[in-house]
Amino acid sequence: MNQREQMEQRGQWRITVWEEENFQGKRCEFMLECPNILDRDFQKICSIKVDNCPWVGYEYPEYQGQQFILEKGDYPCYQAWSGNSSYRTEHLLSFRPIKCANHSDSKITLYECEDMMGRKFEMCDDYPSLQAMGWCSKEVPSIKVNSGAWVGYQFPGYRGYQYIYERDRRQGEYKKYNDFGTQAHSNQIQSIRRIQH
């Protein structure tokens, strides 16, 4: 039995959501993904507690819209999950666990052209500025996740739009910026880090 199967069996993925800020109002605990919180008679999610393992929250049902990484901890209001993002949403409507996150064994390859072509750069560490480490552009046209899960940010210093890259989604291949997520409007990625497990 691999690590993920063991965790699923033990119910390792757990998140509690509240309809109001500061852990007030209606609440519900989840151990599996939730494609639409509205189906659970919630109007929205305004505060979150992640008990263990990382999750990704979305601004719209069916995992659409802006993505927000939710690692272990408390998120009493939207500022806590949107952090330094230039884009803020006051609530989330769907979320799912990130099952392939493995901070100690994460590897990703960035490519200078779409379809994983051109010059490439392999990395296995966090980079608050891709340009400072030698990437000569503000853009990353395609990405291959070799292992683990990563979050890329629009700007240096882990700021701006967030994009989640996972080995067990899309076979780890993000061939063009549209593959980054439904909210991706460009291939501008200037910082990237491993998702904490």
Helix ranges restricted to H, the chain? 3-10, 78-82
Does residue 178 fall inside a structural domain?
A: yes
pLDDT at site 172: 92
Question: Are 189 and 177 contacting, i.e. CB atoms less than 8 angstroms apart?
Answer: no
Which residue among 74, 97, 120 closes a domain?
97
pLDDT at site 7: 47
Instruction: For residues 54 and 24, give the distance between their C-alpha atoms in angstroms, rounded to a whole number.
Output: 22
Are 33 and 9 in the same domain? Answer: yes
Structural domains in the chain (count): 2
Are 91 and 25 in the same domain? Answer: yes
Low-confidence ranges of the chain (pLDDT < 50): 1, 6-10
Does residue 78 fall inside a structural domain?
A: yes
Does residue 31 fall inside a structural domain?
A: yes
pLDDT at site 55: 95
Are 84 and 42 in the same domain? Answer: yes
How remote is the C-alpha of 190 from its chain's centroid? 16
